[in-house]
Amino acid sequence: MLTPKPGTQQCVQGTLYLLTFVPINNETFLNPIKQLAGQTAIYGLSSIVARIINFFFVPLYTRTLTTGNYGLASELLAYIALLQVVLTFGMETGFFRFASKDKTRSEVIFSTALMSLGATSLSFLLLIILFSAQLSVFTEHPATYIIYAALILAIDCFTAILFAELRFKNKAFKFAAFRSIKILSEVGFNVFLFFVLPKYFISHPDSFLLRFIPATPDYGYILLAILLSCVVSLLLFIPRLLNMQFVFSKKQLQELLIYSLPLMIAGLPGVANDFISRIFFRFFAPTTSPWQDQLGIFNANVKLAVFMVLFVQMFRYAAEPFFFASSAREDMKKIYADVMKYFVAFCVLIFLGIAMYPELFALLLGKEFRSGISILPIMLIANILLGIVFNLSMWYKLSGKTQYALTITLLGLGINLVINIIFMPVYGFMAAAWGYLFSYLSMVLFSYYLSRKFYPIPYDWKTIILYFFTGIALYLVSVFVAPSALGARIALNTLYIIGFITFVLKREKMDITRLKSLLKRT
């Protein structure tokens, strides 16, 4: 039996902890860190469940809606994501900071933040309603749907501080329960709107509901389902709102804004980098076909990378407390380096498990959407790079040089903007996919350059690059040397994946028996 290299067992256990949220031993993880890790799992779980359920809507949407309809929904949802960052003003973090410093005034701070966000959200909503007709002409979205989007934004921004209070009071299970109710209600409303309501309209052609939604499903059904789930979320907080004392402090608001606005500005480029390409389709997509169709195809195929996105998100939720908890150890840099190596190896495995079976994953989409399946491997690699960016981010978090976070993100956003503006008019959604990849690649390279300068960590780049390009090479072989029969391709590609797993285990001097033993001990 092969034996692991010195330190490998600890590193694999660390990586397994990241995947399972289970602390490894009581000596390493102090009680506060264990509590943080446990709550991180709870908070993260609701977010992960939301992504999974959102993914399962894709087959419904792409079989019910046209590509153009789905593209229009994608554009409005991108605007919602961007404006949500602006309209919350970074107030959640500001509330945490000041309420933690003076817990005796936490109610005043919470009330001030809530009333402020309520006022700005309501003002924004009224402004959109007032100019909805003009916005409809400019954007070609129905005025009703623009109002739906504004209502979603207003309610989400207002409830953001209510959810933040649950986190501040360490009510993790209540937080998760409320989020889960919102998610499940969105599922219920989607089922009702797409499967029940159209049949109802056939027998009730004069229904008053037709004032709010058309008889034939379109992207307004998506918006209305989200809006109704937001209303359910707001209703859950009614008891809290009825029992609170509304106290407003102008001085406290000034302190909150002085602290929070820079955080909002710093966070905006990251969100913009994630969603800006969807907004650009309207202005830069090729004229060979409607931009709405191209955006719909792009967004549907991006959703197929959900399993990579989920793994990276789970890793991020669990990794930060793990990294900070081990920061006092003498071998901490070695641990960080090994975690990066195993993270990349596992990501490459997920990449192969999805990219090598495009015909199967394409079946999740409606026929009109499958022409964009070629962007799937690009988006998978882009998300691997995004995970590497997070791993590398620990250098500035641990060294206290967090000012470089904005510089790194702005570089990535700039690269993304340039690629989309120059190449999208020619290559359409392919340019959007490559924009993400090169954006995250530039962030990896720049962050690594800065880390070597300020906080060097001995990453095993030789092995990391070997795993990364071995995976890409296997994928390219599967594309260019592929049997014509689907069954033979699937069988051969499965052998490639088994070969990659065997290669990694052999290189790490670890066999399956040893791996099972490590899993049992965690």
As a whole number of angstroms, the distance between CA 249 and CA 481 comes to 69
Gyration radius of the chain's alpha carbons: 24
What is the dihedral sign for C-alpha 440, 445, 448, 450?
A: negative
- In order of 62, 68, 456, 468, the CA distances from 58 in angstroms are 6, 14, 42, 29
Considering the entire predicted model, what is its pTM? 0.85
b/e code 249-275 from CB counts within 10 Å (16+ = b) = eeebbebbbebbeebbebbbbbbbbbb
Q: What average pLDDT does range 405-425 have in this prediction?
A: 95
Which pLDDT value is given to residue 516?
53
pLDDT of 5 above 90:
no
Which pLDDT value is given to residue 38?
57
Which pLDDT value is given to residue 508?
85
pLDDT of 417 above 50:
yes
Residues 196-222 pLDDT 10s: 999 999 999 999 999 999 999 999 999
pLDDT of 34 above 90:
no
Which one has a higher pLDDT value, 443 or 245? 443
Which pLDDT value is given to residue 324?
66
Where do the H-state alpha helices sit in 131-249? 132-139, 143-168, 172-191, 197-203, 219-236, 238-242
Where do the H-state alpha helices sit in 356-485? 358-362, 376-392, 394-399, 403-427, 429-454, 461-480
- What's the DSSP call for residue 289? S
Which pLDDT value is given to residue 321?
62
The first and second tokens of residue 290, run together, are 């409607």
**Amino acid identity at 130:** L
- What's the DSSP call for residue 59? H
The closest alpha carbon to 408, from 451, 457, 437, belongs to 451
**Three-state SS for 3?**
coil
Q: What is the largest CA-CA distance in the chain?
A: 75
∠ Cα 397 398 401 (to 5°): 55
High-pLDDT (> 70) share of the chain, %: 87
As a whole number of angstroms, the distance between CA 155 and CA 117 comes to 10
**Amino acid identity at 85:** V
Q: What average pLDDT does range 143-149 have in this prediction?
A: 97
Residues 36-61 pLDDT 10s: 455 556 666 777 777 788 888 999 99
High-pLDDT (> 90) share of the chain, %: 64
Residues in the chain, overall count: 522
Which pLDDT value is given to residue 133?
96
The closest alpha carbon to 299, from 270, 274, 267, 269, belongs to 274
Residue 519: pLDDT band by 50, 70, 90 thresholds?
A: very low
On average, the pLDDT of the chain sits at 86
Tokens 């908070």 belong to residue: 43
Mention every residue, 6+ apart, whose C-beta is less than 8 A from residue 284.
420, 421, 424, 425
The first and second tokens of residue 295, run together, are 């955006």
The answer to which of 105-109, 259-263, 354-358 has the lowest mean pLDDT is 259-263
Q: What average pLDDT does range 326-347 have in this prediction?
A: 83
Which pLDDT value is given to residue 335?
82
Which pLDDT value is given to residue 440?
96
As a whole number of angstroms, the distance between CA 390 and CA 394 comes to 7
b/e code 51-75 from CB counts within 10 Å (16+ = b) = eeeebebbbbbbebbbbbbbbbbbb
Tokens 């109802």 belong to residue: 200
The answer to which of 212-216, 315-319, 415-419, 512-516 has the lowest mean pLDDT is 512-516
Which pLDDT value is given to residue 322?
67
pLDDT of 442 above 60:
yes
Residues 337-375 pLDDT 10s: 888 999 999 999 999 999 999 999 999 999 999 999 999
Residues 112-135 pLDDT 10s: 999 999 999 999 999 999 999 999
Which pLDDT value is given to residue 3?
37
b/e code 101-137 from CB counts within 10 Å (16+ = b) = eeeeebebbbbbbbbbbbebbeebbeebeeebeebbe
Helices and strands of the chain, counted as H and E runs: 23, 0
Residues 228-244 pLDDT 10s: 999 999 999 999 999 98
pLDDT of 451 above 70:
yes
Mention every residue, 6+ apart, whose C-beta is less than 8 A from residue 349.
471, 497, 500, 501, 504
In the chain, what are the helix, strand and coil shares in percent, each to the nearest 5? Answer: 85, 0, 15
∠ Cα 313 315 316 (to 5°): 65
Which pLDDT value is given to residue 35?
53
Residue 64: pLDDT band by 50, 70, 90 thresholds?
A: very high
pLDDT of 21 above 80:
no
Which pLDDT value is given to residue 28?
41
Mention every residue, 6+ apart, whose C-beta is less than 8 A from residue 134.
none
Tokens 């995250």 belong to residue: 440
